[in-house]
Amino acid sequence: MRMNRVVMAAVVTAALAAGTGTALAGGGQASGGADAEGLTVAAGTAAEGRQEQAGAATPARADVSTTGPRVVRPYQPVEIGQGAKMGLLPKGKQNYVVAWNDFEEAVQQAKSLVGDDIRPNSLSGGMGIDGDDVLFTGAFRTDEVPARITLRLGTGAEVEAGMLRLPGRPGWGTYFHDAAGTGRPQGTVTVTAYGADGSVLADLTYDASPASR
């Protein structure tokens, strides 16, 4: 499976995040700013295709939890669904990779990139699409570590996202949601980060429908 594109948004209360570190890496290339259709492109980096390297280390499998992010080592590949692996980098600003092919190459490319560089107490987000399979990914940057992050696709119910962060107090982390077989969302996608007391730490809404493009 190859993701046809990764479309990302870095919007909080309808404003674009004030950073220049967004990029999409695929096919050995990296580009910043926007894709061919003018959309904001991947926060962090994404490498397309499946990883099929012989003898590659088996990555950990991430579980969806409502008790806060799972703590992972820097550069640790974590399976997040549909053959994709996510890894967090210790340098840069909310710098992470999502790779369907060569994870190590994606990490090396990301080391030269800034990362999301999103505003404090905000979220970035977007999706990779292959037919009816959709994979949502993004980053959070919050003063308080979120207890949970949810996505609402169109008018549907909230669904729980998985979360990852680095050891210590990095002040940021990532989230993901495997929506295989659901098809491209119609209308808006709303991402919400909640604190332990149920308060909203940050939210993000973007229009994912084909008509919005």
Residue 58 and residue 79: Cα distance in Å, rounded? 9
What's the pLDDT tens digit per position in 48-91?
333 323 333 444 544 555 579 999 999 999 999 999 999 999 99
Q: CATH for 5-50+60-212?
A: 2.60.40.10
Residue 141 and residue 25: Cα distance in Å, rounded? 22
Average pLDDT of the segment spanning 99-108? 96
The pLDDT of residue 173 is above 60? yes
> Cα-Cα-Cα-Cα dihedral of 1, 212, 200, 181, to 10°?
-30
For residue 185, the model assigns a pLDDT of 84
Domain boundaries, the chain: 5-50+60-212
For residue 155, the model assigns a pLDDT of 86
